[in-house]
Amino acid sequence: MTETTKITTPVLLKREATTPWDDAPLFYVLAGDGLFACRNNEFFESCAPARSWPSELAGQEPFLVPSFPELARRDLERMVAFFGELADEHGAEGMVLLYWDRVRRRVRLVVPPQVARVGRGLDGSWPLSLRYETPTNLPSHWVPYGDAHSHAYQDAYCSGQDLDDEAYSTGVHLVVGRLHRETPQFHVEALVDGTRFELDLIDVAEGFEARRPRAPRRWLDQVTVKEGWQ
Q: Which of 123, 186, 114 is nearest to 150 (CA)?
A: 186
Non-local CB neighbours of 177 within 8 Å, separated by 6+ positions: 150, 151, 152, 153, 154, 155, 156, 157, 184, 185, 187
| Structural domain boundaries enclosing 10 | 1-60
Alpha-carbon span 97 to 136, nearest angstrom? 13
Same domain for 148 and 40? Answer: no
Non-local CB neighbours of 230 within 8 Å, separated by 6+ positions: none
Residues 91-143: pLDDT tens digits? 999 999 999 999 999 999 999 999 999 998 888 889 999 999 999 999 999 99
Cβ distance 149 to 124 under 8 Å? Answer: no
In a domain, residue 81? The reply is: yes
Question: Tell me, what DSSP letter sits at residue 49?
Answer: E
Same domain for 53 and 115? Answer: no
CA within 13 Å, CB half, 47 = 13
In a domain, residue 67? The reply is: no
Domain end, chosen from 34, 60, 86, is at 60
pTM: 0.84
Which residue blocks in 24-92 are alpha helix, DSSP H? 73-90
Residues 51-74: pLDDT tens digits? 998 888 888 899 999 999 999 999
Q: What percent of the chain has pLDDT over 90?
A: 79
Q: What mean pLDDT is reported for the chain? A: 91
Same domain for 193 and 147? Answer: yes
Question: Tell me, what DSSP letter sits at residue 97?
Answer: E
Alpha-carbon span 47 to 65, nearest angstrom? 38
Same domain for 24 and 120? Answer: no
- 25: number of Cβ within 10 Å: 11
Q: What percent of the chain has pLDDT over 70?
A: 93
Report the domain count for the chain.
2
Q: Which of 104, 111, 102, 116 is nearest to 75 (CA)?
A: 111
- The DSSP-derived string for 167-226 is TT--EEEEEEE-TTSSS-EEEEEEEETTEEEEE-GGGTBS--S---SS--HHHHTTEEEE
Residue 139 DSSP SS3? coil
In a domain, residue 86? The reply is: yes
Residue 168 confidence (pLDDT): 61
CATH for 104: 3.40.140.10
Domain end, chosen from 36, 60, 84, is at 60
Residue 63's region, left for phi above 0, alpha for psi from -120 to 50, else beta, is beta
- 111: number of Cβ within 10 Å: 21
Residue 3 confidence (pLDDT): 44
In a domain, residue 66? The reply is: no
In a domain, residue 68? The reply is: no
Q: Which of 228, 227, 225, 229 is nearest to 94 (CA)?
A: 225
Same domain for 54 and 80? Answer: no
